[in-house]
Amino acid sequence: MRDPRDPVTRAIVAQLDELARSMGKKICRRCGVAKPFGEFYAQPTTRDRLQSWCKACQKNRTTPRYRLERIRRTRDPESLTPRDRQFLRDAVLARLPAELRAYALTCAGHRELEDPAT
Ligand SMILES: [Zn+2]
């Protein structure tokens, strides 16, 4: 795939966007499919007042699998959000036998007390 910052790529993408728009559609930046405007959530801060990813892509962005992939790519553990930490904790706990879960929760509790980031 070409670098999206490449000027030629940008020009092609701009033309495709314009073509889609003239047909009452918008191209999703994630799946690349041209979809009706109604398939995009509103976002007041963008030029067309719509998000760049379609609703379907936005929805599966929050699935556990997507979240885990994103966390895996994170190089700096400090940049994880509290929700990411909670997710990891739950994922780890879910794999532990019940008798170890209570113990792990206690340990996690103590770690949080020591960790100023949480
Ligand atoms: Zn999409």
Domain residue limits, the chain: 7-61, 78-114
Q: Which is more confident, 96 or 54?
A: 54
Residue 61 in contact with residue 86, Cβ under 8 Å? no
Structure tokens at 54: 């379609």
User: What pLDDT shows up at residue 110?
Assistant: 53
pLDDT beyond 60 at 29: yes
Q: How far is the CA of 57 from the centre of ligand 1 (A)?
A: 4
In whole angstroms, give the CA distance from residue 78 to residue 96.
Answer: 25
Q: How far is the CA of 59 from the centre of ligand 1 (A)?
A: 10
pLDDT per residue over 40-78, tens digit each?
A: 999 999 989 999 999 999 988 878 888 888 888 887 878
pTM: 0.56
- Please give the CATH topology (third level) of the domain spanning 7-61: Wheat Germ Agglutinin (Isolectin 2); domain 1 (3.30.60)
Question: pLDDT over 70 for what percent of the chain?
Answer: 88
Dist. CA 99 → ligand 1 center (Å)? 43
- Per-chain mean pLDDT for the chain: 83
* pLDDT of 5 above 70: yes
Question: Are the C-beta atoms of residues 69 and 88 closer than 8 Å to each other?
Answer: no
pLDDT (average), residues 29-42: 94
Instruction: Report CA(111)–ligand 1 centroid distance (Å).
Output: 39
Between CA 84 and CA 33 the distance in angstroms is: 29
CA of 50 to the centre of ligand 1 (A): 13
